[in-house]
Chain A
Amino acid sequence: MDLKDKLVSSFFAVEDYLEDSSPLHEIRNEAIKNFEQQGFPTKKQEAWKYTSLNSVLKHNYSLFPKQETAVEYHAIKPYLIHDIDTFKIIFIDGKYSSHLSQTTHEGMDVCLMSAALSKPKYRIMIENYFNKAANKESLTSLNTAFATEGAFIHIPKNKLVQKPIQIVHFSTGSEASLMLQPRNLIVVDENSHVQIIERHQSLTDNPVLTNSVTEIFTNKRAIVDYYKIQNDNLNASLIDNTFIKQKQESIASVHTFSFGGNVTRNNLNFYQHGERIDSTLKGITIIGDKQHVDHNTLVHHIEPNCESHQDYKGIFGDLSTGVFNGKVIVEKEAQKTNAYQANNNILADDKATINTKPQLEIFADDVKCSHGCTIGQLDEEALFYLKSRGIPEKEARALLMFAFSNTVLESVKINEIKRRITKLIAKKLGVNIGFDL
């Protein structure tokens, strides 16, 4: 039985188990139909032209782990931002782990999707927001059909959240192979500000496939900073679908750091429903081996006077493949739009591949839109300059590569993350130096 059939047939088991009469019932049923019709995406589809899921889908994933595995704090500590105080929502094999987490209901909700879906007091929130930004594509639909657990964050009006929120999904390897489908919903009301860090991590080498969907709503003048840290081991694959619906004057930024994983696909979608919105999409990708990272971004400019900034840097070594597929759509009402898109890549090895497709679709005339895309090497003269000053070749290269990706790091607002990513970059480039020389 292939994975698709398995998913469809076990869907009904889930439906029975949930014994659900809520409006979600309908959404789920429609979603599974969508998925059944479309199936898993193949390379024949334009959006998946450069990414094949075949190697990922061949495992016989178990969909519901049979037992709960206890994990000690020290085992997961290295993967957490532990030097600063944060809220934590931690999942082990898809199940919420209360003793590792730190959630709150004081003045805001930092809690669980399962709670939000079942408790009557969240009913209105769910009706207004759940599945309202996500699209109907097959993988998103698949997640919707199985959406039971994940993070639910609601920040009410005029609230500055003092601590960043960490959402971390661990898989323990208690199953031979596991498929996870977390579903996050984040609603930030007027004038509020929140910082969120998301990470998926497997603790063993057993294959894991994560198909995650995150919906983020930023209301008027809200500010959301979102960081995705992807440094999983080589048997873990991630399909991350993020949908951000922005209202007027809100500011949303997503930074994606992709260093690990087998196949990583980031579908990042911004929808601008209001004027004077600012959207930022940035990413650093440094991979090797046979890794594959695909950034598929969409910024939909619907109303006037908005801005979007995209900046993706990639360094590809060994047999790795990088894909960037950025799309900017400017509707005809969206006059005075400023949209920038940059994608710079370095191929570090002969067997590495980069496929990039920066795409603009513009229907308004009074706009400033540009995109730039390069594939190149390090400047030999700059390298020589460093070497002539006594810096060994490897370190010199690493320094230049760090400088290359630094434009993305500069806009990271949490210093602790900056410090960690810097360390990760050094590790990834195989050098032992701090870059804050």
Chain B
Amino acid sequence: MAKYTEDDLREELKTKEYEYGFYTDIESDTLPVGLNEEIVRAISKKKNEPEWMTEWRLESYRAWTQMEEPEWANVTYKKPDFQAISYYSAPNKKPKYESLDEVDPELLETFNKLGISLDEQKKLTGVAVDVVMDSVSVATTFKKTLAEKGIIFCSISEAIQEHPELVKKYIGTVVPQKDNFYAALNSAVFSDGSFCYIPKGVRCPMELSTYFRINQAGTGQFERTLVIADEGSYVSYLEGCTAPMRDENQLHAAVVELIALDDAEIKYSTVQNWYPGNSEGKGGVFNFVTKRGLCEKNAKISWTQVETGSAVTWKYPSCVLKGDNSVGEFYSIAVTNNFQQADTGTKMVHLGKNTKSTIISKGISAGKSQNSYRGLVQINSRAENARNFSQCDSLLMGNECGAHTFPYIEAKNKTAQVEHEATTSKIGEDQIFYCNQRGIDTEKAIALIVNGFSKEVLNKLPMEFAVEAQKLLEISLEGSVG
């Protein structure tokens, strides 16, 4: 066998195109492009929303028009033209299906290509899947099982119809409408998303999961997720994404709000693999997401994310530790290759006494990509005995990429204990040599080392996702040895 050199590896990596890039032709019901109050009203009307919701959207829209697009992130991109986007598109063939047989076969085919076979998942994994195809829920499974426990798991538009009191009480409480430019935009035009409510003392028996896909050409996707864990409950929520190949940039500005009431626990995991653009950096998804969780007394929120896709990522899942003894966790792997840019991290705001937070962030950059960690740990003056541990490690492959760390630490209480450490390194030649010597080829060795590097985070993922995440890491990185 000819010697498989590093150059071959690099070449292979460069030419590795997005495997999940395909496009399903489903007739869509699309609003005209552009954004104004009429469009916002139209979206609200299409979704048959009550008056207060329409007002809420309009309020957000007005706030948004007063705001400027943020520029502080360590990324450069061509700003999207917000008047050239269509803000609503819904698959035409409604209504919802009771069983899989009724689902549009073309749609099922799409999911099969992605390796997400609904029935298989139903049987094997026990995961309830709320599939979001172009903004509107098409199939919801396992709903009955959940309903028995009193758990509400549905699309947010359904929740607005059926549980307006819950939505009205909590929406916008963690991420206010005016929080930032993209959150305001999302609040005005969000098309759909997921809603989840776990009643008092209930432990959700299965992992809840949603697969988002961006499908219709030129459609920005504005998801809104609201998860409420009532006192003493537990839920593990998964979110995974793949998107079809596109040449123009697609905008994704989601908002996720988590509310953990007293003694509740929410575990939120994400695997994100949107189209990152081709090897010249053309195309790719813009991912500007606002994710935040609020912890009441003794509550815990844990964010786990594996980010391998998107041309530009701008994402800071945060925890507001309001209640005493609450806990926030953030585990992240961000992989960038080719021309990808990621500016991601977390905010831990300690307000209550004895609050704890842990941040483990692993950044891997290859090709010509830029990978930044940006985090804030804030200990307020009343947060007695707050504790934080942060660790951000970066792995660089090649000298055309960059790794950046911007940790902000603000402490106003003398009992605070904050530790932050960061390292930057490359895959050692001796490590590779050690593997080679034992008959492991270079490519496998890299996969092995990268897996080891990210193990602390991968371990935090639920079983089903861990497998997928490992595969993603391999696809994104194989061959890019420095």
Residues of A within 8 A of B (CB): 46, 332, 335, 345, 347-377
Contact = CB atoms under 8 A, between A and B. Distances in A.
A365 B397 contact: yes
A362 B403 contact: yes
Contacts of A347: 411, 413-414, 416
A372 B421 contact: yes
Contact of B421 (A345, A366, A373): A373
B121 interface: no
Contacts of A363: 399-402
Contact of A332 (B399, B412, B414): B399
B99 to A, nearest CB: 53
Nearest to A316: B414
Nearest to B378: A355
Given A374-B420, A376-B418, A350 B381 contact: yes
27 contacts: A353-B412, A354-B409, A355-B408, A355-B409, A356-B409, A358-B407, A360-B394, A360-B404, A360-B405, A360-B422, A361-B403, A362-B394, A362-B402, A362-B403, A363-B399, A365-B401, A365-B426, A366-B482, A368-B424, A368-B425, A370-B424, A371-B422, A375-B417, A375-B418, A376-B417, A377-B414, A377-B417
B482 A361 contact: no
B418 A360 contact: no
B404 A365 contact: no
Given A365-B426, A374-B419, A350 B414 contact: yes
B415 interface: yes
B335 interface: no
Report the contact-size class of chain B (Cβ under 8 Å from the partner): 35 or more
Nearest to A371: B422
Nearest to A46: B72
B426 A360 contact: no
Nearest to A333: B399
B473 to A, nearest CB: 18
A346 to B, nearest CB: 8
Interface in B38-76: 72
A396 B398 CA distance: 51
A367 B424 contact: yes
B410 interface: yes
Contact of A365 (B399, B412, B413, B417): B399
A370 B414 contact: no
B411 to A, nearest CB: 5
B406 interface: yes
A345 B418 CA distance: 9
Contacts of A373: 407, 409, 418-421
A319 to B, nearest CB: 11
A377 B482 CA distance: 41
A369 B416 contact: no
Q: Determine the main DSSP class of A at the interface with B.
A: strand
A-B pairs with lowest CB-CB distance, top 5:
A365-B396, A347-B414, A375-B418, A373-B420, A369-B424
Nearest to B406: A359
A361 B402 contact: yes
A356 B409 CA distance: 5
Contacts of A375: 379, 409, 411, 416-418
A356 B408 CA distance: 6
B405 A355 contact: no
A419 B68 CA distance: 55
Nearest to B384: A350
A340 to B, nearest CB: 10
A87 B367 CA distance: 54
A24 B401 CA distance: 41
A111 to B, nearest CB: 43
A364 B399 contact: yes
A355 B410 contact: yes
B15 interface: no
A359 B424 CA distance: 12
B294 to A, nearest CB: 24
Contacts of A332: 399-400
B482 A365 contact: yes
B482 A371 contact: no
Nearest to A322: B411
A361 B363 CA distance: 13
Nearest to B420: A373
B402 A353 contact: no
B450 to A, nearest CB: 14
Given A350-B381, A374-B418, A369 B423 contact: yes
A3 B398 CA distance: 50
B346 to A, nearest CB: 15
Contacts of B381: 350-351
Given A332-B400, A359-B406, A372-B420, A377 B415 contact: yes
B421 A354 contact: no
Quick one: which of A358, A359, A362 has the most chain B CB within 10 A? A362
Contacts of A361: 402-405
Nearest to A365: B396
Contacts of B425: 367-368
Contacts of A362: 394, 396, 402-404, 424
A373 B421 CA distance: 6
A79 B419 CA distance: 37
Contacts of B426: 365-367
B338 to A, nearest CB: 16
B432 to A, nearest CB: 14
A352 B414 contact: yes
Contacts of A358: 405, 407, 420, 422
Given A355-B408, A375-B416, A364 B396 contact: yes
B413 A350 contact: yes
A265 B398 CA distance: 37
A363 B406 CA distance: 15
Given A350-B381, A365-B482, A357 B407 contact: yes
Contacts of B398: 365
B423 A370 contact: yes
A377 B404 CA distance: 29
Contacts of B72: 46
A374 B413 CA distance: 13
A353 B379 CA distance: 10
Nearest to A353: B412
Nearest to A341: B422
A381 B263 CA distance: 33
Contacts of B418: 373-376
B409 A357 contact: yes
A353 B410 contact: yes
Given A364-B399, A365-B396, 4 more contacts: A345-B411, A363-B400, A369-B424, A370-B421
A62 B35 CA distance: 55
B466 to A, nearest CB: 28
B410 A354 contact: yes
Contacts of A367: 396, 424-426
Contacts of B397: 365
A360 B371 CA distance: 11
A371 B417 contact: no
Contacts of A345: 411
Contacts of B400: 332, 363
Nearest to A330: B424
Contacts of B415: 377
A361 B399 CA distance: 13
A2 B363 CA distance: 47
Nearest to B395: A365
A354 B381 CA distance: 11
B482 to A, nearest CB: 4
A327 to B, nearest CB: 9
Interface centre among B416, B419, B422 (most CB of A within 10 A): B422
A127 B416 CA distance: 51
Nearest to B398: A365
A356 B407 CA distance: 8
Interface centre among A352, A360, A365, A370, by most chain B C-beta atoms within 10 angstroms, is: A365
Given A46-B72, A335-B399, A359-B406, A354 B411 contact: yes
A351 B394 CA distance: 35
B405 A359 contact: yes
Contacts of B420: 358, 371-374
